[in-house]
Amino acid sequence: MAAPIGAVSPNDGTGEIAGRHDAMQAEAEERRSVERERDFDRFLTFIDAIVAIAVTLLVLPLVEIAGDVTELSVNDLLFQHAGQLFSFFLSFFVIAQLWFAQHNIVRTVVVQDRIVTRCLMLWALTVVVLPVPTALV
């Protein structure tokens, strides 16, 4: 008995082609998924670099103070710059706490989207701005 017109015979190769097409689509989706994960990892590395730069900016004024150690004793130097040292340690502690909180929150993020990216950039702005009030002390 002949197959009806338009019917696919199991031996005509279209099933094999469809299977290859599905496999190619799955492979392409896997590549896109890996690329999205890589993009998010790169973005988090950028955020970590912002934190590292902010901490570096906190330390730079202390390096200048250390140059005065030849003129003053260490005790006098620490006493005269106690406010700056306190503001450095306080700002460092705040940045560290912010980073730990961000790290714990981001660990649960499954998919990076526009909202996550914007929230992290706003978070980074708070870290970037923190050395400014510290320098004013």
**One-letter amino acid identity for 11?**
N
| Locus of tokens 């526009």 | 114
Tokens of 53: 């730069």
* 78-123 pLDDT, tens digit each: 888 888 899 899 999 999 999 999 999 888 887 778 898 899 999 9
Average pLDDT value for the chain: 80
Q: What is the mean pLDDT of residues 64-70?
A: 76
- List the chain domain ranges: 14-136
pLDDT tier at 70, thresholds 50, 70, 90: confident
Cβ atoms of 91 and 130 within 8 Å: the answer is: yes
Cβ atoms of 50 and 127 within 8 Å: the answer is: yes
Q: What is the pLDDT of residue 72?
A: 74
* 16-46 pLDDT, tens digit each: 776 776 776 767 666 666 666 788 889 899 9
For the entire predicted model, the pTM comes to 0.66
Q: What is the pLDDT of residue 15?
A: 63
* Cα dihedral 119, 124, 126, 127 in deg (nearest 10): 150
Instruction: Tell me: pLDDT of 71 over 80.
Output: no
